Structure 1
Amino acid sequence: MHPTLAYAAHSPTSPLVPFQFQRRALKPGDVHINILFCGVCHSDIHQARDEWGNAAFPMVPGHEIVGKVSAVGSAVTRFKIGDTVGVGCLVDSCRICSECQDNLEQYCDNPVFTYNSPDPNGGTTYGGYSDNIVVDEHFVLHIADSLDPAAAAPLLCAGITTYSPLRHWQVGAGDKVGVVGLGGLGHMAVKFAKALGAHVVLFTTTPSKIADAKRLGADEVVVSKNPDEMAAHNGSFDFILNTVAAPHDLDAYTLLLKRDGTLCLVGVPDQPHPSPSVSALIFRRRSIAGSLIGGIKETQEMLDFCAEHNITSDIELIAIQDINSAFERVLKSDVKYRFVIDLASLRS
């Protein structure tokens, strides 16, 4: 067993506080990781505050994990002590269903999430707001030494959540791509779409974000509250990635799609979006779709793509002792663009 220091929520209304527990002893296929950095995802807040109705307490959030391998099981072949590695949203799946066989473990009917998930080894999984973790090697990812490990941590969720739909809908050179929202997900979507060769348009309600969006790679920025700016793009987009995690009118964006264009949702609001207009869809054969994270194979592909193109997240590094104020700042969109916890602060 591995003694573990962490921060945990003990109820939907209580702050995260120090917490101690035991990680399991290594099985033959396991990798033990000393966690260096962990990103703070908006879904950590949703779950810690039980906004999705599935919370188990105490809860140790965190699924954007980067660390160093400190021990490996006897059957491990892909990792060695000292490797820089990552762990994302999944730590296990059934491995036998058609989704798993197609390297789409995120769509498995029985996934094991990195935290707040029934653990096949007993109890509930605990995540990366902790100083170490034990994970089956199939769900561990290589992080290139060329990437800043702190800035690479959000790639394990914010990165793959935006990369996966861009790849699935085959975004590339010559495509006109919209990104709705410039937060933790949106800023990664802009970087990826630009690196894939698309003409990138960022939609924001905040004029003060225009300069930053262009710095990140957007070719154009549209203030979505301005009807004239929106109308100027009617019927012109091949693909729009909507990262906003609050309910809003989707028709404003479906009308901007070309025939056969797709509006893909990756933000998860705590209330439903208003029902979209059927006519906005059927008269141009437009689609509204959704996408989750990617599977392990695609996540490794994304990390390799980031190493090739020198892509990481824009982050603000914090101590674990500041996690509760960071949660409040995330809710106010007061971060550019992802908080990352330096776990050295936990050990100290």
Structure 2
Amino acid sequence: MEVPVLEVPFLPDIGRGKEMAEKSHQEGHPTKAFGWAARDHSGVLSPFNFSRRATGEKDVAFKVLFCGVCHSDLHMIKNEWGISSYPVVPGHEIVGQVTEVGSKVEKFKVGDKVGVGYMIGSCHSCDSCHDDLENYCPEVILTSGGKYHDGTTTYGGFSDIMVADEHYAVRIPENLPLDSGAPLLCAGITVYSPLRFYGLDKPGMHVGVVGLGGLGHVAVKFAKAMGLKVTVISTSLKKKEEALEHLGAHSFLVSRDPDQMQAAAGTMDGIIDTVSAAHPLFPLLGLLKTQGKLVLVGAPVKPLELPVFPLIMDIMVADEHYAVRIPENLPLDSGAPLLCAGITVYSPLRFYGLDKPGMHVGVVGLGGLGHVAVKFAKAMGLKVTVISTSLKKKEEALEHLGAHSFLVSRDPDQMQAAAGTMDGIIDTVSAAHPLFPLLGLLKTQGKLVLVGAPVKPLELPVFPLIMGRKIVGGSSIGGMKETQEMIDFAAENNITADVEVIPMDYVNTAFERLAKADVRYRFVIDVGNTLKI
């Protein structure tokens, strides 16, 4: 899901143009308003006269009493995300007192305390809206710098009054201070939501919080209230006293201290990463337990380096039995690759819940792993789309393997047409490749699972993850119980690998061909008949 482009007409800021612009801001709606706005990418704010719409039948009008200053506001007033259009009245952590309500308003009355956060509108018709996830609506309207249903620019809470549809306003409890409660409308929900959604809210769990700023300090408070063990992770030792004494975190790690990080390796159920600057992910992944979750809520401008090996290797499960029974009806030659390739793709389909009939799953790459992934996914009743850089694989994917559709990942028109259609993607490619186009194919809350193992880290763009609550995970083979389950499932559904059986003395040539991707799709050595002493 791409970050929505907020198209606001350019308004000149000099001479007659400036006068006309100011007039349009003031006369676009009937209610005069006053605030502070940034006029250009310098980010300098100054007094600004504009207007608000009249209170509609479902609207709440309120006097703004407090408004938080979020790091997102800084990005917007300086256009660091490339989506700002000036003038910008920032502010999306807004609290105040209701002064007027529309005739059909049910939630509020005059005098109530009210809050408005990061969004002020959506389409009300998409799946996200139906699931009460308006924040992931493709047509979400931002409180500041968006375009409202009537085509006018939205202005934020650095102003004296606000008007909002009651659906996008929340009731502020009487015992919640308005000044210190305002930041919860952005910072609060930004960290509360992933703790709940990713299951990191069970008392006794160990959760790390990276960064101790506006988001991080609130994350510590929510995590403690949920009964979690909380470790603050920071580059600065100066934050230790604040974390332990003031916020009551249970422990503190300096992320630049390799001894501290090594001592804490594999101890955390999850990590909430609030940092919006570029930073390494590898040390953080090392802190997680097997099947641990690193959740990014900060929004770095540039992609982060994603090392794939820790994702893959830290989900491996083992049992005491290391041999599996091969069903009688499973051919030994074409069944052999299932013991690696098969379980490598079967396991993530099951673990990440991408095995429900009718789901739409993409398979990236049509090699040894990819072709088996297509077969398993089809046997599970999934709609399967093969994604490849090569148009030459299309016939193979559709005619031989029976995939339902095929995408050339280098064709922007094809990728755009398929945007937001897939529940999950199994990425089998072990060469360096861009993740951004693949993330765009996922629905809200979709899952991109990496099972290939590129040598170098991949570039991970964080914005698509945040804006669509999308997951990037990894998987490595499976435990013995699951491997037997996979073999039995394969036998029941007549799934085998497509193989080229070779004699032992051909193995060096086979490796040369494998390096050139000249195999369809797995070499299998006939050891029993060709290994000669």
TM-score above 0.5, yes or no:
yes
- State the SS of the aligned residue for 2:304: coil
The answer to whether residue 134 in structure 2 is matched with residue 108 in structure 1 is: no
Q: Which amino acid aligns with 1:148?
A: P
Given candidates 298, 311, 316, the residue that maps to 1:281 is 311
Given candidates 258, 263, 267, the residue that maps to 1:236 is 267
Given candidates 217, 220, 239, the residue that maps to 1:187 is 217
Given candidates 56, 59, 81, the residue that maps to 2:85 is 56
Displacement after TM superposition at 1:285 (Å)? 2.4
- State the SS of the aligned residue for 1:249: coil
Displacement after TM superposition at 1:198 (Å)? 0.6
**Identity level (%):** 47
Q: Report if aligned partners of 1:161, 1:293 keep a CA contact under 8 Å in 2.
A: no
Cα distance change of structure 1 residues 190 and 3 upon mapping to structure 2, 3 Å threshold: same
Partner deviation per Cα, 1:240-266 (whole Å, 9 max, x = no partner): 000000111101101111111010000
Given candidates 220, 229, 232, the residue that maps to 1:202 is 232
Displacement after TM superposition at 1:118 (Å)? 1.1
Question: Which aligned pairs between 1:328-339 and structure 2 lie closer than 5 A?
Answer: none
- State the SS of the aligned residue for 2:202: coil
CA distance in 1, matches of 2:75, 2:131: 30
Given candidates 60, 76, 81, the residue that maps to 1:47 is 76
Q: Which amino acid aligns with 1:130?
A: S
The answer to whether residue 284 in structure 2 is matched with residue 250 in structure 1 is: no
Displacement after TM superposition at 1:83 (Å)? 0.3
Deviation >6 Å, runs of 4+: 286-289
Displacement after TM superposition at 1:69 (Å)? 0.3
- State the SS of the aligned residue for 1:269: coil
> Across the two proteins, how many residue pairs are aligned to each other?
293
Displacement after TM superposition at 1:98 (Å)? 0.6
Partner of 1:269: 300
Q: Which amino acid aligns with 2:57?
A: P
- State the SS of the aligned residue for 1:268: coil
Partner deviation per Cα, 1:219-243 (whole Å, 9 max, x = no partner): 0001111110011111111100000
CA RMSD of aligned residues (A): 1.6
Structure with the greater alpha carbon radius of gyration? 2
Given candidates 192, 205, 208, the residue that maps to 1:178 is 208
Partner deviation per Cα, 1:35-83 (whole Å, 9 max, x = no partner): 0000000010101101111111111000000000000011111100000
Gaps of at least 5 residues in structure 2 are 1-29, 317-448, 450-459, 470-533
CA distance in 2, matches of 1:13, 1:159: 28
- State the SS of the aligned residue for 2:33: strand
Question: Which aligned pairs between 1:114-193 and structure 2 lie closer than 5 A?
Answer: 114-170=143-199, 171-193=201-223
Q: Which amino acid aligns with 1:216?
A: L
Q: Which fold has the larger relative contact order, with Cα–Cα distance below 8 Å and residues 6 or more apart in sequence?
A: 1
The answer to whether residue 87 in structure 2 is matched with residue 30 in structure 1 is: no
- State the SS of the aligned residue for 1:6: strand
Q: Which amino acid aligns with 1:224?
A: S
- State the SS of the aligned residue for 1:51: coil
Q: Report if aligned partners of 2:43, 2:74 keep a CA contact under 8 Å in 1.
A: no
CA distance in 2, matches of 1:293, 1:32: 30
Cα distance change of structure 1 residues 17 and 114 upon mapping to structure 2, 3 Å threshold: same
- State the SS of the aligned residue for 2:223: helix
Partner of 2:242: 212
Displacement after TM superposition at 1:208 (Å)? 1.4
Partner of 1:92: 121
Cα distance change of structure 1 residues 228 and 209 upon mapping to structure 2, 3 Å threshold: same
Q: Which amino acid aligns with 1:115?
A: S
Q: Report if aligned partners of 2:121, 2:148 keep a CA contact under 8 Å in 1.
A: no
Structure number having the greater helix percentage? 2
CA distance in 1, matches of 2:179, 2:72: 19
CA distance in 2, matches of 1:212, 1:66: 27
- State the SS of the aligned residue for 2:80: coil
Partner of 2:481: none
Partner deviation per Cα, 1:58-116 (whole Å, 9 max, x = no partner): 11000000000000011111100000010000111001111000000011010011011
CA distance in 1, matches of 2:136, 2:157: 22
Displacement after TM superposition at 1:193 (Å)? 0.6
The answer to whether residue 254 in structure 2 is matched with residue 223 in structure 1 is: yes
CA distance in 2, matches of 1:291, 1:179: 17
Partner of 2:104: 75
Q: Report if aligned partners of 1:38, 1:128 keep a CA contact under 8 Å in 2.
A: yes
CA distance in 2, matches of 1:293, 1:59: 24
Partner of 1:17: 46
Question: Which aligned pairs between 1:308-327 and structure 2 lie closer than 5 A?
Answer: none
Q: Report if aligned partners of 1:63, 1:87 keep a CA contact under 8 Å in 2.
A: yes
Q: Which amino acid aligns with 2:216?
A: G
Q: Which amino acid aligns with 2:175?
A: S
CA distance in 2, matches of 1:264, 1:285: 16
Displacement after TM superposition at 1:122 (Å)? 2.5
CA distance in 2, matches of 1:28, 1:124: 20
CA distance in 2, matches of 1:179, 1:293: 21
